[in-house]
Amino acid sequence: MVRRRALWSCSLQLAVLPSAASWSGGNPQPFNSSYRRPAELPPWKGWSGTMEEEEKEEKGDETLQGRQQQQPGSSPEKVMDKNTDEEQPSTACNQYPKEAVKKRQNSDRGSGRNDSSRTFRKSFRLDYRLEEDVTKSKRGKDGRFVNPWPTWKSPTLSNILKWSLMEKDNSNVPRSKQELDKELPVLQPYFVQMPEEAGKTGAGMRVTWLGHATVMVEMDELVFLTDPVFSQRASPIQLLGPKRFRGPPCTVAQLPRIDAVLISHTHYDHLDYNTVASLNERFGSELRWFVPLGLLQWMQRCGCENVIELDWWEENCVPGHDAVTFVFTPSQHWCKRTVTDDNKVLWGSWSVLGPWNRFFFAGDTGYCFAFEQIGKRFGPFDLAAIPIGAYEPRWFMKYQHVDPEEAVRIHIDVQAKKSVAIHWGTFALANEYYLDPPVKLNEALERYGLKKDDFFLLRHGESRNLNTNDRFEN
């Protein structure tokens, strides 16, 4: 007898199965869509390898240049190596939110002409190493994005049917809430009782796991979320689809002030309409959304105004916090939400670079050499959030989801000082036993000669302060 989970999984996968055309190779072609890409930049011949900023008097159309920035007392490893050469396209940091939605005025980034230039007394420009050292996003002949990695293999209808109907489901998530509470307790986040503490990390940083791929990061005077999902199901409808077996530790209403949200791709367990609508209703245009190239119109339909969409290696910032750079970086995955939109939106990871801290969010990904490129360009990172779950069976999942050992390899590749495990213990999306990911992670850490604290686990709702190792928990 076919299991209910297998039937639903099969039908959902069929609905989002990428078409053969969308996975074709070929040279990038112009993409005739309604969202707007940033203008191409003239080539740069080298870089000095530092994060730069400059203070200027307020002038309407004044060009914002950069000068080297380093906070007093900061370590040299927080600043890029001066003796390397690299380049990378950039986007205007201080775009006016509504203009970012309406016009994508990235063509102004070279001249600094944008409406918000009057509101900033600081700006910055990242310098980059050799452009040929990194892999740019790629489109197929139909204009849809494709994975440029040799490690990628697209899912096929026969493989999806085989996985959904023939493979044994070993997740064995208990029905007993009491047992789940014992194995995977859900804690009330510290900020629910102490909202005044949110964002007060000084030169340190704090991370709170809110389940699956959602973390709240506090660093460099900013608070931001990754792939927020507060709904009960990862599905286009809340009556069917993968259901959380561990609920969210808090509601959107209980969150502290959030400055930004990072979206890695469009799958339902990472991009949830109800959560986006709730966050937008609460924070409005004060909340900046950083999203992959191609997602702007969808965000507009949700009512979001302050949206920045980026291609791989492009960057932007939160208005008023231009010392912290948000860079959209590569990963190996795919995007789809409807029958016809396969890979019209790019997927990726995020690198957040501040004057005191650096954070990397891997999103959803298979293992590829992109992470070495990211580590070489932006490492070391003070903290990385890396997925460890939804990896069985390997013959099917390895191209889109890393297993715990590959997660450790990403930790090493991006040069993370510490990593936190995500993408496990919330939804049963694959066939491994629901408690296996942390066990396999610790085994992999031992094989690589790393300590458990180097790549740590958090309980749902738990926080860790990376400056003092304090934890807020109830």
pLDDT for 131 equals 56
- Coil, strand or helix at 262: strand
- pTM of the predicted structure, to 2 decimals: 0.75
Q: Are 171 and 433 in contact (CB under 8 A)?
A: yes
3-class secondary structure, 291: strand
DSSP string for residues in 50-92: SEEEEE----TT-----EE---TT--GGGS--TT--B------
pLDDT at 46: 30
- Number of Cβ within a 10 Å radius of residue 433: 14
Structure tokens that stand for 127 in this block: 């310098």
**Closest to 212 in 3D by CA, of 246, 169, 262:** 246
Which pLDDT score is estimated for 241?
Answer: 86
What is the rounded CA–CA span in Å between residue 74 and residue 179? 46
Task: Find the radius of gyration of the CA atoms of the chain.
Answer: 21
Predicted local distance difference test score (pLDDT) of residue 24: 35
CB atoms within 10 A of CB 158: 8
Q: What is the per-residue pLDDT for 32?
A: 34
pLDDT tens, per residue, the chain with 474 residues: 334 444 444 444 444 444 333 333 333 333 333 333 333 333 332 333 333 333 343 444 444 333 333 444 444 444 444 344 444 444 445 443 433 333 333 433 333 333 332 233 233 344 555 455 789 999 999 999 999 999 999 888 888 899 989 899 999 999 999 999 999 999 999 999 999 999 999 899 999 999 999 999 999 999 999 999 999 999 998 888 899 999 999 999 999 999 999 999 999 999 999 999 999 999 999 999 999 999 999 999 999 999 999 999 999 999 999 999 999 999 999 999 998 989 999 999 999 999 999 999 999 999 999 999 999 999 999 999 999 999 999 999 999 999 999 999 999 999 999 999 999 999 999 999 999 999 999 999 999 999 999 999 999 999 999 965 444 444
Q: How many angstroms separate the CA atoms of 120 and 171, rounded?
A: 51
Distance CA 177, CA 155 (A): 35
Indicate the SS3 state at residue 308: strand
| CA dihedral sign of residues 431, 394, 264, 70 | positive
Residue 240 has what pLDDT? 86
Hey, which residues does 328 pair with through a beta bridge?
350
Complete DSSP assignment for 209-263: E-STT-EEEEETTEEEEES---SSBSSSSSSSS-B-SS--SS-GGG-----EEE-
| Residue located via tokens 């180097």 | 454
Q: Residue 93's pLDDT is what?
A: 52
Token representation of residue 386: 């890396």
Residues whose CB falls within 8 Å of the CB of residue 472, separated by 6 or more in sequence, listed in order: 189, 190, 191, 194, 197, 462, 463, 465
DSSP-assigned letter for residue 155: -
| Dihedral sign (CA 237, 102, 264, 342) | positive
For residue 116, what are its two tokens?
A: 């918000």
| pLDDT value at residue 238 | 86
- What pLDDT score does 128 carry? 53
